[in-house]
Structure 1
Amino acid sequence: MASLPQAPPVPARAVPVPRPAPPAIARVRSRRRPSGEPPPLPRHLNASGKWWLGMSAAVLVLWVVVVVTGTVTVFDVADTRILQAISEVRSPGLTRVAEVAGVLASAKAIHVLWLANLLLLAVFRRWRHLFVWLGVGLLVANLGATLAMTLQRPRPYEVEVIGDWSGFSMPSLPMTVLAAFLVSTVYALVPPGRWRTRGKWLVCGLLVITAASRLYQAQDHPTGILAGVVLGVAAPLAAFRLLTPNAVYPVRYSRARPAHLDVSGDRGEAIVRALHDQLGVLATGVTPFGLAGSGGSTPLKITVKTDPSATEDEGCIFGKLYAATHVRSDRWYKLGRALLYGRLEDEKPFHSVRRLVQYEDYILRLFSEAGLPVPHPLGIVEITPEREYLLVTEFIAGAKEAGEAEIDDSIIDQGLMIVRRMWDIGMAHRDIKPANLLVRDGTLFLIDSAFAEVRPSPWRQAVDLANMMLVLALRTDAERVYRRARLQFSDEEIAEAFAATRGLTMPSQLRRMLRQQGRDLHGDFLRLLPYRLPPVRIQRWTWRRAGLTLVTLASAAAMAGIAVTLLGSPL
């Protein structure tokens, strides 16, 4: 190894290069939303959902009236007259047709439908839809069985029953479960729009055919079928519309990440309206931007009106749309890391999307006040209270990611100065990767401070230095970056950085780009060091990790037991 000159004394404070002023955005007076006025993007149940829920409530009230007053004979007489009329047209040919038409309500067919949905939702990793699907199935099956046992209405009398049947007949449990499963299938697997509308009509046709078959065979009362269908349709319709709305949890089969929300239609209009009301910014367009480098939010390029003196490039601002889905994903991600690796510093999840946005805005302002080259923060916009918020910042127009830009000694020095400055003010970024380092006109910008930490441990600070050096070496080489690093950091600090950095501590994008290039930059830096420090231990067993592992295994076993119980429940 060629001898390298000893680094001169490190300056007490290395301040990054000056950066341009914030954009000249035209502002108008913001408007406070009065109490009682809905937010820009309210969550509500459509008219059809309200109608089905109203029908369910009416059916439940009618059941209570029947139980209390004992007027079930009125319905028995009406149902018997209808079934007697149907039985008069029976024939061997029609009976065979009815047996085939009613196969969907059989136990085997419903079990196949159950397993098919379970497998498809698991394959497409549509976990929230899967949990809602399971919950609706358990609720409808148990509620229907409980009501049937409470009412204890017998099967039709004075009419020959020529089909299979079991249990009581109010409501019709096979029709209740079939309706719930079919509607759940449409909302969990079929994309909204034309295809979902067609799916609803198909479900309607299948239910009508199955109901006609069961009436022909006198397996159920007409009112029992009607009550079962109302209950079976209303429960999944309300659950999926409220818990998996299309705007937040879209059903799609593209390669888009689940974290990237659709900003067209109602959501796009709500963002434009909220920017005007809450920040006084006149937005004219909202489009996704840089989705490839973002997995925990929806990055947006927002076109806005500017002052007459502003240039065309200054007609945009940047927004990061956060939703409750991102907080839940972050919670599951950190739970998984806790199970796999034990205790990692600052791996506590956020408890609400509002806290997440507030924290990132706070960190961004700290970085900006410390002179770090970060986008100028412009404010927070509420889209739906406690569900969706937009963090608005300056848009770094014309910039390239560090993995694609030309990197010279000036850019290398700026990147290392950023790390040194964060050390000086007692902070760590914790997510230094090519997508979070932008280069424009010879200036390096640091973005995405959602994972930054105040007063981090020396280990976290060391990891920032190693990741910065690895990113800068992607477009240059390890020796060049190491020579520049020794002008601001000592050999001991650099050795500590690479002792603390391993695969786990490198962002996934950085690991992927290293594999694509086929270069062992980490090994190159280690060979340049005059000495090496022992690797810093990352994986640890703690009582918390052991407890989480046991709880997770117990929950998985409980879910498996529930699935087996529902799968084997009689209809």
Structure 2
Amino acid sequence: MPAAPRPDLPPIRRVHRRRRPSGEPPPLPRHLSASGRWWVALSGVVVLSGAVVVLTGSVALVDLADTRVLQALAATRSPGLSRVAEVTGVLATGRAIHLLWLVNLLVLAVFRRWRHLFVWMGVGLLVIQTAATAAATLQRPRPYEVAVLGPWSGFSMPSVPMAALAAFAVSTLYSLVPAGRRRNAGKWVVCGLLLVTAASRLYLAQDHPTDVLAGVVLGVTLPLAAFRLLTPNEVYPVVYRRGSPAHLDVSGARGEAITRALQDQLGLVATAVKPFGLAGSGGSTPLKITVKAGDAAEEEESCVFGKLYAATHVRSDRWFKLGRTLLYGRLEDEKPYHSVRRLVQYEDYVLRLLSDAGLPVPHPLGIVEITPEREYLLVAEFLTGAREIGDPEVVVDDAVIDQGLAVVRRLWEIGVAHRDVKPANVMVRDGTLYLIDSAFAEVRPSPWREAVDLANMMLVLGLRTDAARVYARARLWFSDEEIAEAFAATRGLTMPSQLRRMLRAQGRDLHAEFLRLLPYRLPPVRIQRWTWRRAGLSLVTAVVLLLIVAVGVDLLGSPL
């Protein structure tokens, strides 16, 4: 198929690109913030002080100071205050901490905030094990010369109950409360709860003052650092609105970073960055970026298209493909990407390959780095006025059908499979069909993959027309054997989820309609295949799940 004439890019203003000097942070750096660094420094001071006390043998001085404080509190005891102290200290009991653990686990699982859940569980286990190990190493006894009124177990330095309570309270704050005023207010609530609980345990002489201090510092520092570094709000915001977790917030700091990076790296002066077409995208954040088109004195504007990829998308892709391997066995090219940079580089390469081959795809404009190895933006032409082929306002006539079939034929000729032919990726503008989103494309695919592309394209074209019409046009581009092979290779699993949903919504079995039109049928291509890799992954997954359950049960059953 000869390359079809395509309109040029709309005018876009270019300015001087700026190379970031060595040592300068990226547009959107990862940071711990001032309070996080302060807590890390405080934990270092606590560890250093403990080491100095142990090495210099000045433990007696610390014990004496702690005892004087506890004796002063014991002098204020009364039956009424003791009952109040027992009630206010309930949060540091094993039952209360276990309940907090289970509530957080259920809430995070219900809202499918898996990354926060894994960090929450990991931090809880780490804090409790670290505190218990430190207590067993230091072997500090409970307060002496003061009557201990409440229950206790094990050694006292650091206070394991206070460390666990602080860790779970901070983890709850960062995993369940949205950033902003509500989280800031929550910090004061957590601070108040820790102060009340600490006062209760000191009044009852369950811990020394330095035990409480060490436990709180340990319990606050580790989850604070973990959540700010592993689940930064810019990448993993805590939200309760509907939407895909793949769609990142592009307002605030991230939006400013995108605008700055576009100008520095591509010379594009962006005036607005907004999400676009989120309904058809589940593996990236598609953006409509308004840029200046004329000279500095002119106010003309144009648009470019951006796909924002972050490390979270690569991890989601990895888990998605692992799940498909466990459920369905070996599929073509289901190896995950190992970095977000490789993902963006590959999609940009495929887009340029398709463009050079004359296929109707958006013009590629380049790659923008937002945060090294964590966030990148793929920039391409914005198809102004184009609509998804499934839109009721799009006219699907014989010319559009022929263009869709010609696209698949050309893909076969250059040895590329798109692998994600669905209504959201087939656009029509002024009677011209465009193929977008080449993230899953494969160079030199198997014949099975090529056949799947043909069947999915025929199904997409048949959504707005009928099977007989599409089949009649397909016979002008493909042989009966090639069409029969396509529908032998395609069924529910190999159809994109959006295509399956639209077929169900129409109440049609379009696949069966095409099968009835075939002069003969080929045996279905077997997809469910067992391999040594699938068996090994299944075994490892089962073992890991059992270990997680065992550790959770052991933790819930252990006293604090």
Same fold (TM > 0.5) = yes
User: How far apart are the structure 2 equivalents of 1:173 and 1:496?
Assistant: 65
RMSD: 1.3
AA aligned to 2:136 is M
User: How far apart are the structure 2 equivalents of 1:162 and 1:32?
Assistant: 66
User: Which residue is 1:9 aligned to?
Assistant: none
User: How far apart are the structure 1 equivalents of 2:301 and 2:24?
Assistant: 33
| Cα offsets for 1:224-271 (capped at 9, x unmatched) | 111111111111000100011001111111111100000000000000
- The answer on 1:406 being equivalent to 2:406 is no
User: What secondary structure is seen at the aligned counterpart in 2 of 1:413?
Assistant: helix
User: Which residue is 1:150 aligned to?
Assistant: 137
User: Which residue is 1:452 aligned to?
Assistant: 441
User: Which residue is 2:487 aligned to?
Assistant: 498
| Cα offsets for 1:265-322 (capped at 9, x unmatched) | 000000000000000111111000000000000000000001369x999700000000
- The answer on 1:295 being equivalent to 2:282 is yes
User: How far apart are the structure 1 equivalents of 2:325 and 2:300?
Assistant: 44
User: What secondary structure is seen at the aligned counterpart in 2 of 1:66?
Assistant: helix
- The answer on 1:56 being equivalent to 2:43 is yes
User: Which residue is 2:359 aligned to?
Assistant: 372
User: What secondary structure is seen at the aligned counterpart in 2 of 1:24?
Assistant: coil
User: How far apart are the structure 1 equivalents of 2:253 and 2:18?
Assistant: 20
Aligned residues of 1:16 and 1:414 also touching (Cα < 8 A):
no
User: How far apart are the structure 2 equivalents of 1:346 and 1:520?
Assistant: 28
Aligned residues of 1:357 and 1:389 also touching (Cα < 8 A):
yes
| Cα offsets for 1:510-562 (capped at 9, x unmatched) | 00000000011111111111111111111101111111100110111111111
- The answer on 1:360 being equivalent to 2:347 is yes
User: Which residue is 2:553 aligned to?
Assistant: 564
Deviation at 1:464, TM superposition (A): 0.5
Shift in CA distance, 504/491, structure 1 to aligned 2, threshold 3 Å: same
- The answer on 1:234 being equivalent to 2:230 is no
Aligned residues of 2:348 and 2:378 also touching (Cα < 8 A):
yes
User: Which residue is 1:98 aligned to?
Assistant: 85
User: What secondary structure is seen at the aligned counterpart in 2 of 1:515?
Assistant: helix
AA aligned to 1:337 is R
Aligned residues of 2:3 and 2:357 also touching (Cα < 8 A):
no
- The answer on 1:25 being equivalent to 2:12 is yes
AA aligned to 1:222 is P
AA aligned to 1:465 is L
Aligned residues of 1:15 and 1:421 also touching (Cα < 8 A):
no
User: How far apart are the structure 2 equivalents of 1:568 and 1:33?
Assistant: 54
How do 1:159-198 and structure 2 match up within 5 A? 159-198=146-185
Aligned residues of 2:258 and 2:370 also touching (Cα < 8 A):
yes
State TM-score, norm by structure 2: 0.98
Aligned residues of 1:160 and 1:218 also touching (Cα < 8 A):
yes
Shift in CA distance, 314/89, structure 1 to aligned 2, threshold 3 Å: closer
How do 1:320-469 and structure 2 match up within 5 A? 320-404=307-391, 405-469=394-458
| Cα offsets for 1:455-508 (capped at 9, x unmatched) | 111111111011001001111111111111111111111111111100001000
User: How far apart are the structure 1 equivalents of 2:447 and 2:294?
Assistant: 45
AA aligned to 1:399 is A
Q: Of 252, 265, 273, which residue of structure 2 is paired with 1:286?
A: 273
Aligned residues of 1:19 and 1:443 also touching (Cα < 8 A):
no
User: How far apart are the structure 2 equivalents of 1:158 and 1:427?
Assistant: 80
Shift in CA distance, 295/411, structure 1 to aligned 2, threshold 3 Å: same
User: Which residue is 1:201 aligned to?
Assistant: 188
- The answer on 1:258 being equivalent to 2:245 is yes
User: What secondary structure is seen at the aligned counterpart in 2 of 1:513?
Assistant: helix
User: What secondary structure is seen at the aligned counterpart in 2 of 1:315?
Assistant: strand
User: How far apart are the structure 1 equivalents of 2:146 and 2:101?
Assistant: 33
Note the residue ranges of structure 1 that are not aligned, 5 or more in a row: 1-13
User: Which residue is 1:536 aligned to?
Assistant: 525
User: What secondary structure is seen at the aligned counterpart in 1 of 2:228?
Assistant: helix
User: How far apart are the structure 1 equivalents of 2:206 and 2:376?
Assistant: 53
User: How far apart are the structure 2 equivalents of 1:332 and 1:154?
Assistant: 47
Deviation at 1:18, TM superposition (A): 2.1
Number of paired residues? 557
Deviation at 1:21, TM superposition (A): 1.1
How do 1:468-487 and structure 2 match up within 5 A? 468-487=457-476
Return 63-72 or 296-305, whichever deviates more: 63-72
User: What secondary structure is seen at the aligned counterpart in 1 of 2:378?
Assistant: strand
User: Which residue is 1:4 aligned to?
Assistant: none
Aligned residues of 2:290 and 2:301 also touching (Cα < 8 A):
no
User: How far apart are the structure 1 equivalents of 2:100 and 2:327?
Assistant: 35
Return 277-286 or 72-81, whichever deviates more: 72-81
User: Which residue is 2:261 aligned to?
Assistant: 274
Deviation at 1:23, TM superposition (A): 2.2
Aligned residues of 1:17 and 1:414 also touching (Cα < 8 A):
no
Aligned residues of 1:313 and 1:397 also touching (Cα < 8 A):
no
Aligned residues of 1:287 and 1:301 also touching (Cα < 8 A):
yes
AA aligned to 1:531 is Y
Identical positions, percent: 76
Aligned residues of 1:514 and 1:520 also touching (Cα < 8 A):
yes
- Runs of 4+ in structure 1 displaced over 4 angstroms? 311-314
Deviation at 1:219, TM superposition (A): 0.8
Deviation at 1:16, TM superposition (A): 5.7
How do 1:58-77 and structure 2 match up within 5 A? 58-77=45-64
User: What secondary structure is seen at the aligned counterpart in 2 of 1:256?
Assistant: coil
Deviation at 1:332, TM superposition (A): 0.4
Deviation at 1:570, TM superposition (A): 1.9
Shift in CA distance, 343/312, structure 1 to aligned 2, threshold 3 Å: farther
Q: Of 493, 501, 511, which residue of structure 2 is paired with 1:512?
A: 501
Aligned residues of 1:323 and 1:387 also touching (Cα < 8 A):
yes
User: How far apart are the structure 2 equivalents of 1:523 and 1:273?
Assistant: 52
Note the residue ranges of structure 2 that are not aligned, 5 or more in a row: none
User: How far apart are the structure 2 equivalents of 1:149 and 1:27?
Assistant: 65
Aligned residues of 1:15 and 1:417 also touching (Cα < 8 A):
no
Shift in CA distance, 308/143, structure 1 to aligned 2, threshold 3 Å: closer
Deviation at 1:15, TM superposition (A): 3.3
| Cα offsets for 1:88-136 (capped at 9, x unmatched) | 1111111111110000011111111111111111121111111111111
User: Which residue is 2:120 aligned to?
Assistant: 133
Return 428-437 or 76-85, whichever deviates more: 76-85
Aligned residues of 1:411 and 1:443 also touching (Cα < 8 A):
yes
User: How far apart are the structure 1 equivalents of 2:214 and 2:35?
Assistant: 17
AA aligned to 1:55 is L
User: Which residue is 2:234 aligned to?
Assistant: 247
- The answer on 1:521 being equivalent to 2:510 is yes
User: How far apart are the structure 2 equivalents of 1:51 and 1:556?
Assistant: 36
Q: Which structure's relative contact order is higher, taking Cα pairs within 8 Å and 6+ residues apart? A: 1
Aligned residues of 2:292 and 2:299 also touching (Cα < 8 A):
no
AA aligned to 1:98 is A
